[in-house]
Structure 1
Amino acid sequence: MPPSKVSVLGNAILFLSALTGAQESEIPTFEHHSPPAYPPPIGTGDGFPEWSEAYSKAQAVVAQMTIAEKVNLTSGVGWEGEQCVGNTGGVPRLGIRGLCLQDSPLGIRFGQYSSAFPAGVTIAATWDDDLAYARGFAMGVEHRGKGVDVQLGPVSGPLGLFPEGGRNWEGGGSDPYLSGIGLASAVRGIQDAGVIACAKHFIANEQEHYRQRGENAIAINESISSNVDDRTMHEVYAWPFADAVKAGVGSIMCSYNQINNSYGCQNSELMNGILKNELGFQGFVVSDWQAQHGGVATALAGLGDQNFYSANSYWASNLTGAVINGSVPIWRLDDMATRIMASFYKVGLDKDRVEVNLDSWSTDVYGYRHYFAQEGYGLINGNVDVRGNHATLIREIAAKGTVILKNVANALPLQKPRQIAVFGSDATDNPRGPNGCPDRACADGTVAMGWGSGTANFPYLISPLSALQNKAIADNTVIQWVVDDYATGHMKQTATQATVCLVFVKAQAGEGFVGVDGNQGDRKNLTLWSNGEEVISTVAANCNNTIVTIHSPGPVTLEEWIEHPNVTAVVYAGLPGQESGNSIVDVLYGLVEPGRLPFTIAKNAKDYGVSLMYEPDNTYAPQQDLGGLLIDHRYFDKHNIEPRFEFGFGLSYTTWKYHKIVVRKTNAGPYVPSSGRTPAAKTTKVTESAESLLFPAGFTKVRFYNYPWFNSTSDVKRDGENGPSDAYDPNGTATRPAGGAPGGNPGLYDILYEVNVTLSNTGKRNGEEVVQLYISQGESDDPVRVLRGFRRVSVNAGKSTTITFTLTRRDISRWDTTTQNWVVSPAEKMVFVGRSSRDLPLVAKLNGGKKSIGYSKNKPGRQGHGMKTFM
Structure 2
Amino acid sequence: MAESSDNTPSHAGASFAASDVDTLLGALTLAEKVDMMSGHGFFDALAEDDRVWGARPYRAGSGNDRLGIPPLLFTDGPRGVTRTGSTCFPCTMARGATFDADLELRVGEVMGIEARAQGCNFSGAVCINLLRHPAWGRAQETYGEDPWHLGVMGAAMGTGIQTHNIIATVKHFALNSMENARFKVDVRADERTLHEVYLPHFKHCLDAGIASVMTAYNKVNGEYCGQDRVLLTDILRDEWKFDGFVHSDWVRGVYKVYGVSAGLDIENPEPLILGEKLVTAVADGLVEPYVVDRACRRILRTQIRFARMQDPLPAYPADRIACADHRALALEAAEKCAVLLENDGVLPFAPDRVKRIALLGRIAAMENTGDNGSSRVRPPYVVTHLEGLRRALGEDAVLHADESDLDAARQAADQADAVVVVVGYTAKEEGEYIMGDIALGADQNRGPSPRPSLSPTPIGGDRLSLDLPDDQIALIHAAADSGKPVVVVIVAGSAVMVESWRDRANAILLGFYAGMEGGTAFANLLFGKVSPSGKLPFTVARDAADYPYFDRDATQIDYGYWHGYTKFDREELTPRYAFGHGLSYSRFGYRALKAHRNGNAIDVAVTVTNEGDVAAQEVVQLYIGCPGREAERPVKLLRAFDRVALQPGEARIVRLSVGIDTLRWRNPDRHTWQLEHGDYRLFVGGSSDQLIETGIAL
8 Å CA contact 1:62, 1:334 repeated in 2: yes
Deviations 1:121-171 (A, max 9, x none): 0110000000111111111111111111211121012x1101100111100
Distance, in Å, in 2 between the alignment partners of 1:800 and 1:767 is 12
Aligned to 2:685: 834
Q: Is structure 2 residue 249 aligned with structure 1 residue 399?
A: no
For 1:718, the equivalent position in structure 2 comes to none
Match among 652, 658, 680 for residue 807 of structure 1? 658
Structure 2 match to 1:106? 79
- Structure 2 CA distance for aligned equivalents of residues 200 and 265 of structure 1: 12
- Structure 1 residues 54 and 283: CA distance shift in structure 2, 3 A: farther
Q: Secondary structure at the match of 1:835?
A: strand
Q: Which of 99, 102, 105 is the matching residue for 1:127?
A: 99
> Does residue 1:638 correspond to 2:570, yes or no?
yes
In the alignment, which residue of structure 2 is the partner of 1:187? Answer: 158
SS of match in other structure, 1:199? strand
Where has structure 1 moved over 4 Å in runs of 4 or more? 53-57, 349-354, 382-385, 515-520
Of 284-293 and 792-801, deviating more is 284-293
Question: Which position in structure 1 is the counterpart of 2:51?
Answer: none
Indicate whether 1:554 and 2:494 are aligned. Answer: yes
Alpha-carbon distance, 1:320 to partner: 2.6
SS of 2:694's equivalent?
Answer: strand
Q: Which residue of 2 aligns with 1:450?
A: 371
Give the Cα separation in 2 of the matches to 1:186 and 1:353.
Answer: 17
The reply on whether 1:93 has 2:28 as its aligned counterpart is no
Structure 1 counterpart SS, 2:181:
coil
Give SS of 1:336's match.
Answer: helix
Structure 1 position 588 matched with structure 2 position 521: no
Q: Partner of 1:524 in structure 2? A: 464
Pair 1:763 & 2:684 matched: no
Instruction: Call closer, same or farther: CA 1:478–1:349 in 2, change over 3 Å.
Output: farther
CA distance in 1, matches of 2:199, 2:519: 36
SS at match of 2:639: strand
- Please tell me whether residue 493 in structure 1 is matched to residue 411 in structure 2: yes
Pair 1:319-2:267 in alignment? no
The one-letter amino acid paired with 1:576 is: A
Residues of 2 paired with 1:405 and 1:169: CA distance?
18
Q: Against the structure 1 CA distance between its residues 605 and 488, is the aligned structure 2 distance closer, same or farther, given a 3 Å change threshold?
A: same
Deviations 1:318-339 (A, max 9, x none): 2233334432222222221121
Matched, 1:150 2:122: yes
Letter in 1 for 2:63: G
Q: Deviations over 1:239-281 (max 9, x none)?
A: 1101111111111111110001110101100010111111121
Code of the residue aligned with 1:124 in structure 2: it is G
User: Match for 1:116 among 88, 99, 106?
Assistant: 88
Shift of 1:206: 1.4
Q: Distance in 1 between matches of 2:273 and 2:170?
A: 23
Please tell me whether the aligned partners of residues 78 and 307 of structure 1 are also in contact (alpha carbons under 8 angstroms): no
Gaps in structure 2 of 5+ consecutive residues: 1-15, 46-55, 437-455
Report what 2:49 is aligned to.
none
Give the CA deviation at 1:518.
7.2
* Residue 511, structure 1, aligned to residue 432, structure 2: yes
Q: Name the SS of the counterpart of 1:153 in structure 2.
A: strand
Q: CA deviation at 1:62?
A: 3.2
The reply to whether residue 792 of structure 1 matches residue 654 of structure 2 is: no
- CA distance, structure 2, for counterparts of residue 166 and residue 150 of structure 1: 25
- Map of 2:580 onto structure 1: 648
Aligned CA RMSD, in angstroms, stands at 2.4
- Structure 2 residue matching 1:753: 3-state secondary structure: strand
Moved more, 272-281 or 339-348: 339-348
Contact 1:125 1:597 (8 Å CA) reproduced: yes
Partners of 1:78 and 1:236 in 2: CA distance: 38
Distance 2:108 2:345 in 1: 38
Q: How many Å separate the matches in 1 of 2:295 and 2:62?
A: 14
Q: Distance in 1 between matches of 2:595 and 2:17?
A: 40
Contact 2:150–2:201 under 8 Å retained in 1? yes
CA–CA separation in structure 1 for the residues paired with 2:567 and 2:416: 42
Q: Gaps spanning 5+ residues in structure 1: where?
A: 1-52, 213-222, 358-381, 429-444, 617-621, 669-750, 849-871
Cα distance change, pair 262–351 in 1 and its aligned pair in 2 (3 A):
same
Equivalent of 2:213, from 249, 252, 269?
Answer: 252
Partners of 1:60 and 1:408 lie apart in 2 by 69
Matched residues in 2 for 1:242 and 1:76: separation?
26
Q: 1:198 to 1:615 in 2, by over 3 A?
A: closer
Tell me if the contact between 1:779 and 1:827 (Cα under 8 Å) persists in the aligned partners: no
Q: CA deviation at 1:487?
A: 0.8
Q: Counterparts in 2 of 1:682-697, with a 5 A limit?
A: none
SS in structure 1 at match of 2:292? helix
1:665 and 1:351 mapped to 2: Cα distance? 39
Amino acid at match of 1:386: I
Question: Structure 2 vs 1, CA of residues 522 and 231 (structure 1 numbering), >3 Å: closer, same or farther?
Answer: same
- 2:384 maps to which of 452, 463, 473: 463
Deviations 1:184-221 (A, max 9, x none): 00010011122111110001111112222xxxxxxxxx
Q: In structure 1, what is the Cα distance between the partners aligned to 2:36 and 2:531?
A: 48
User: Contact conserved, 2:73 with 2:119, CA < 8 A, in 1?
Assistant: yes
Deviation at 1:414, TM superposition (A): 4.0
Contact 1:250-1:343 within 8 A present in 2 as well:
yes
2:177 equivalent to 1:206: yes
Matched-pair identity in %: 30
Alignment partners' CA distance in 1, 2:636 and 2:415: 48
Distance 1:479 1:292 in 2: 52
Q: 1: distance between equivalents of 2:380 and 2:689?
A: 40
Question: Partner letter of residue 172 of structure 1?
Answer: Y
Distance 1:414 1:349 in 2: 56
CA offset digits 1:590-610 (Å, max 9, x no partner): 2223211111111121111x2
> 1:383, CA displacement in angstroms?
7.7
The AA in structure 1 aligned to 2:605 is N
Partner in structure 2 of residue 705 of structure 1: none
TM-score (norm 1): 0.71
CA distance in structure 2 between the partners assigned to 1:660 and 1:55 by the alignment: 56
1:778 aligned residue (627, 632, 656): 627
Please list the CA deviations of residues 826-866 of structure 1 after superposition, one character each: whole Å capped at 9, or x if unmatched. Answer: 342111000111010x2111228xxxxxxxxxxxxxxxxxx
TM-score, structure 2 as length reference: 0.88
Partner secondary structure for residue 87 of structure 2: coil
* Structure 1 letter corresponding to 2:322: R
**Superposed counterparts of 1:193-342, under 5 Å:** 193-212=164-183, 223-306=184-267, 313-342=272-301
Counterpart-to-counterpart distance in 2, 1:633 and 1:54:
48
Which residue identity is paired with 2:295? M
Aligned to 1:535: 475
Between the aligned partners of 2:19 and 2:606, the Cα distance in structure 1 is 45
- Separation of aligned partners in 2, 1:60 and 1:661: 58
Q: Does the CA contact (< 8 Å) of 2:178 and 2:552 recur in 1?
A: no
Superposed CA deviations along residues 294-336 of structure 1, whole A, max 9, x for unmatched, are 443101100023356x6x6222222233334432222222221
**1:352 and 1:249 mapped to 2: Cα distance?**
17
CA contact 1:78–1:87 (8 Å) conserved in 2: no
Residue 819 (str. 1) matches residue 670 (str. 2): yes
- Aligned partners of 1:269 and 1:343: how far apart in 2? 23
Contact 2:358/2:420 (8 A) holds in 1: yes
Report the Cα offset of residue 804 of structure 1: 1.2
Aligned partners of 2:71, 2:432: CA distance in 1, in Å?
A: 28
Mapped to 2, the partners of 1:517 and 1:804 lie a distance apart of 52
